[in-house]
Chains A and B, each alone.
Chain A
Amino acid sequence: MNKLQKKAAIPAVLIILILSAFAVPSFAEGTIADNNTTFWDGISATFLKMWAWMPTLLEAAWITLSLSIICVSCGLVIGIPLALGKISKRKIINMPCKAYIFFFRGTPLLMQLYFLYYTLPMIFPALTINDSFIAASIAFTLNVAAYLAEIIRAAIQSIDKGQLEAAKSLGMSYGQAMRLIIIPQAYRRMIPPIGNEFIMVLKDTSLVSTIALTDLTYKTKQIASSSASALVYIPAMIIYLVITAVFTFIFSKIEKKLSVYE
């Protein structure tokens, strides 16, 4: 076991312990509900039940995952110009950017989603979005862009002023200094909060279940109601955890790679 594996083992063990604490009473429920003769029969029956839901849940998890990836990458594309716009000293550029960020950070995501899906078609029938995946992607992208813009702005402004002054004294223009000196240093600082934002988005996508998009939460709720068993939340939570763990790992790798010079 190398150092990294050891570090990863501790949270993994903790997660398993916590989940088993949740699970034991439900195993007991399995024993009672299905008239299994022994406690161990109940446990194995419960495990089989949860295992049988996995394919459906994984299929739905794919929607959750692709939605988060699309939204964060599109959000970055919109977020970068927004951040630069907010830093800009020209009012005509920074006012709209500030207004955008103010609006999307100041209203709940669920309401933005409902606004796009239900209110907008009422006012402008031409803007009716038929596909709930597209509607969800647009709503989430617009929202995520506002948060990412703030993250990027903070990262850029956190770079010491001396860096810009030094670059200028070497004869660089503002644009050159930004491109060659400031932004490369800011990259490293924005990776952890972007990773954080990604995980937040991944969990926030559970909101799309309210507009009948078959994401992981939607499928989980559907199974819970059709099987009349709340046990399904255990495998669903494990899937969320696994996805989060994978992306935490990826982001920490990127961070390490970028911090070679620090």
Chain B
Amino acid sequence: MKKILALFMSALLFLSVAACGNTGTEKTGITSPDDLDGKKVAVQMATTADDYLTELVESGRDIEILRYEKVTQCFDDLKFKRVDAVLVDRVVASYYMDDNSTSEIVWKNDEGEPMAICLKKRNDKLTEAVEKAIDTLYYNGKIGELAEKHFGDNYTEGLRNVTQEPVIDKEGFTLVEEGKFKVGMEVGYPPMEYFAADGVTQTGFDVDISKEIAELLGLELEIVDVAWDGIFAGLDTNKYDAVISSVSITPERLEKYNLTDAYVSNQLVLVVNK
């Protein structure tokens, strides 16, 4: 009995070691989404990158999509060669890839994907005020400074042309909590919104923008950290006033929510291992 057990155990050990064998992917030769057939691609769940690939699969393409909760998991997977490519926002890709990075951007979506601030449908008064606040940031050039600071490049250029100082109507808008501007954010999407190295301080482009907007509206800012795949459900159920969390403008979102005009431009990029 003992011998049989020992034999069984060693067989199990052997099997599990064999299963661990690294059958990593070879150089993929991917240069655009056209080359993705039969390949594995990591995206963050419920992002526009996810929508983009899902649409391709629904049109009959053979792409295996791995949807993760956090965008960092996609890059980990690429590093371990579990996936062949990552489809992600340009701003995020540039954050993860420096000069000695092992991955590279091989394709950019020509269709730009500007981002906007998302508010509840019919909350027009607050939308108007937020819109004016962003205009103010464009007017005094603050937003360009912040973009330079976080992206190293001004991705806000040319989106808005504000020649006159906007006047913000600070009265009469509906808030979730009196005197507070509550913002839903998935803090974990660098450089847009993430935790600094100390693990406590929230930082990033959207965090700074939210601070500026709250100040212009004369409200106290409160950032609510939520998971991305539940972020719009939180807005629906009045957990916060707005979502400022790299929200790309899509027809579906325009239909369901109040979106401001774009405040930063973005596009999808495809990242593969070098």
**A interface residues, Cβ below 8 angstroms from B:** 74, 77-78, 81, 118, 121, 125-132, 134, 138, 209-212, 218, 221-222, 224-226, 228, 230
Instruction: Let me know if A212 and B22 touch, CB within 8 A.
Output: no
Given contacts A129-B19, A222-B45, A225-B229, contact A212 B80 (CB under 8 A): no
Measured in the bound complex, the distance between the Cα atoms of B23 and A118 in whole Å is: 16
Known: A210-B68, A226-B46; 13 extra A-B contacts, CB below 8 A, are A77-B12, A125-B80, A129-B20, A132-B66, A211-B73, A212-B67, A221-B229, A222-B45, A222-B46, A224-B229, A224-B233, A226-B51, A228-B233
Quick check: is B5 within 8 A (CB to CB) of the other chain?
yes
Contact call A118/B76, Cβ cutoff below 8 A = yes
B229 contacts A212, CB within 8 Å?
no
Is B22's CB under 8 angstroms from A130's CB? Answer: yes
Q: How large is the interface on B (under 10, 10 to 19, 20 to 34, 35 or more residues)?
A: 20 to 34
Within the complex, the shortest CB–CB distance from B79 to chain A, in Å, comes to 8
Cβ A81 vs Cβ B19 within 8 A: no
Residues from chain A with Cβ under 8 Å of B82 in the complex:
128, 130
Interface flag for B16 (CB, 8 Å): yes
Are B20 and A77 closer than 8 Å at their CB atoms? no
Given contacts A128-B80, A128-B81, contact A228 B22 (CB under 8 A): no
Are A222 and B67 in contact (CB-based, < 8 A)?
yes
- Dominant SS among interface residues on chain A: helix
Asked if A212 meets B12 with Cβ closer than 8 Å, knowing A130-B24, A224-B229, the reply is: no
Q: Find out whether the CB atom of A210 lies under 8 angstroms from the CB atom of B46.
A: no
CA distance A78 to B8 in the complex (A): 10
Q: A81 contacts B54, CB within 8 Å?
A: no
Docked-complex contact B22 and A225, CB < 8 angstroms: no
Q: Hey, which chain A residues are within 8 Å of B230, CB to CB?
A: 225
With A130-B24, A212-B66, A221-B45: A121-B80 Cβ-Cβ less than 8 Å: yes
Chain A residues within 8 Å of B9, by CB: 77-78, 81
Instruction: Say which residue of B19, B46, B252 sits within 8 Å of A134 (CB atoms).
Output: B19
Which A-B residue pairs are the 8 nearest by beta carbons?
A225-B46, A212-B66, A225-B229, A128-B22, A121-B80, A128-B80, A134-B19, A130-B82
Question: Are A81 and B80 closer than 8 Å at their CB atoms?
Answer: no
Cα(A118)–Cα(B20), bound, Å: 13
Tell me if B42 is interfacial: C-beta within 8 Å of chain A. Answer: yes
Q: How far is the CA of A222 from the CA of B232 in the complex (A)?
A: 14
